[in-house]
Amino acid sequence: MMTDTNAKGTDPLEAALGSAEHAVATKLCKKCSEVQPLADFPRHPQMRDGYLNSCKLCVSQDVKRRNRQKRNDPVWTAAERARLRVAVAKYRLRIAADPVKSAEARVRQRLYNKRWREHNRQGRNDD
């Protein structure tokens, strides 16, 4: 605690920033074994210190690798296609039961189709 704020050469803000509790916290990444600033770790409420043990870069590489594996797995892609078919069917049933929502959905779909056509115009031969 600062007791004498008028002391020469000691700016209270500077003293606070220099204190241990304001020093940049770091953590060791279990994946790449590098010590990095805590800000480079994803937050995770269930971890003791509130952050994951892998840095953001390692986590993002893991996610990319896992997604690549999934896409190359015919069992996973078939299951995912089936899951999405069911989800879309459920969505359509819910929308169809609501006249306001189905009108909104029609407008949204028209806008989407228009944007899609504009975006994909260059690739077409019959334009």
The contact set with Zn ion (CB under 5 A) reads 29, 31-32, 55, 58
38 closest CA partner among 47, 46, 28, 63:
28
Least distance to Zn ion from the beta carbon of 56, Å? 8
Judged by beta carbon, residue 51 or residue 55, the one nearer Zn ion is 55
As measured in angstroms, the least distance from the Cβ of 54 to Zn ion is 6
CA 37 to each of CA 33, 43, 61: distance values in angstroms, whole numbers, following the listed order: 13, 13, 18
- Comparing CA positions, the residue from 119, 95, 97, 121 lying closest to residue 108 is 95
Minimum distance from residue 37 beta carbon to Zn ion (Å): 12
When the beta carbons of 36 and 105 are compared against Zn ion, the nearer one is 36
Closest to Zn ion by CB, 24 vs 35, is 35
* CA distances in angstroms from 9 to 14, 21, 27, listed in the order given: 10, 21, 33
